[in-house]
Amino acid sequence: MTTTVEPAVATAGHVISYREAINEALKQEMRRDERVFAAGIDLAERGDVFGITAGVLQEFGPRRIIDTPISENAIAGLATGAASQGLRPVVSMMFVDFIGVCFDQILNQMAKMKYMFGGKAVLPLTVLANAGAGTGMAAQHSQSLEALLCHIPGIKVVMPSTAEDAKGLMTAAMRDDNPVFVIMHKRCSGLRGPVPEGEYIVPLGKARIMREGTDLTIVATAYMVHEALKAADRLAEQGIEAEVIDPRTLQPLDTDTIVESVKKTHRLLTVHEAVEFAGIGAEINAQVADQAFDYLDAPPRRLGGPFSPVPYSPPLEQAWLVNADDIYESALGVVNG
């Protein structure tokens, strides 16, 4: 078994959690650029329900971090308007489920303004949203809607799985001149890992090979990366070396890294927590089929959640979730099937 982690572009400094890494990136960018401000529900006084903006109010004051009314429509409109006028807002939707409240602002304003003004409108804005099940938050607070956003031209979408990438992708998002959604998985929030201190950027649109292998490519997103790595260890005990890839950015997608891996392993399994139907895994499989069909020794397979709302009942929620056992069994099916 070989595990690979890309070297940091800055000196690794300390071990912090995923949520603390987002917080660190935000504070560092606010110090660097006075145009950056944060706004959202409970961001200032409470420091966000997940602690993402803890300490920001104390350091930067109420002009740089703003508690908004409970109106996602207003928050999205604020971000779009402020960005178009030269500021660099970071706004929070709290839960990705709530984009439904302001979807017109996202779909028809935020995503379209640059195009409809012939590129003259610049929209450097970052939207934070928590996604994912497994925390007992029921059907309206547990969805994974990243594929919905990836289908909209004009929007970029990132889903970090580690603390290091959370900081690097968050920084890259805030420096990008386009709307970027940073989808944070709730079960990743407390995961700790080494994170470079100081300025640290992970380029948008660049996947990461989390584990090298020769027999199967597993492309997994967000918390499923950690479950896929567990499954890969079990597969190695059976003599099957799986390569695990974290796309990190879903839009734009680093298809090249995935295709090159499949050309080496000749097999593909995609894994995401979102419902399987029309998920990002289907798009990845289609891209590989288009570009590397002759290299495949087995049909690409995708693994995702059932086509149903996330149950509130803890036993039902656990049954709904994709886990390492599911990935292991699906991987065996691809290799032996």
* pLDDT (tens digit per residue) in 22-50: 999 999 999 999 999 999 999 999 999 99
Could you tell me the residue ranges of all domains in the chain? Answer: 11-196, 208-336
Name residue 132's amino acid.
G
**Which pLDDT score, from 0 to 100, does residue 88 have?**
98
Q: Per the structure block, which two tokens stand in for 145?
A: 């809607």
Q: Per the structure block, which two tokens stand in for 107?
A: 């779909």
Q: Kindly name the residue from 14, 141, 226, 266 that is annotated as catalytic.
A: 141
Question: CA dihedral defined by 192, 195, 199, 202, rounded to 10 degrees?
Answer: -90
Regions in the chain scoring below 50 on pLDDT: 1-11
Q: Is residue 247 reached through a cis peptide bond, with omega within 30 degrees of 0 on the bond before it?
A: no
Of 284, 145, 267, 198, whose CA–CA distance to 13 is shortest? 198
**Which pLDDT score, from 0 to 100, does residue 6 have?**
41
**Which pLDDT score, from 0 to 100, does residue 94 have?**
96
Candidate CATH numbers 3.30.479.10, 3.40.50.970, 3.50.50.60, 3.30.457.10; the one for domain 11-196? 3.40.50.970
Backbone angles phi, psi at 285, to 5 degrees: -60, -40
Whether residue 15 contacts residue 24, with contact meaning beta carbons closer than 8 Å, is answered with: no
Active site residue 141: yes
Distance CA 125, CA 105 (A): 13
**What's 292's DSSP letter?**
H
Name residues whose C-beta falls within 8 Å of residue 293's C-beta, 6 or more positions apart in sequence.
none
Answering whether pTM is above 0.85, one says yes
**Which pLDDT score, from 0 to 100, does residue 12 have?**
56
Judge: domain 208-336, CATH 3.40.50.920: yes
**Which pLDDT score, from 0 to 100, does residue 3 have?**
32
Tell me whether the CATH fold assigned to 11-196 matches the one assigned to 208-336: yes
Cα 278 from chain centroid (whole Å):
17
Distance CA 332, CA 307 (A): 23
Give 87's Cβ-side CA count (13 Å radius): 15
**Which pLDDT score, from 0 to 100, does residue 13 have?**
80
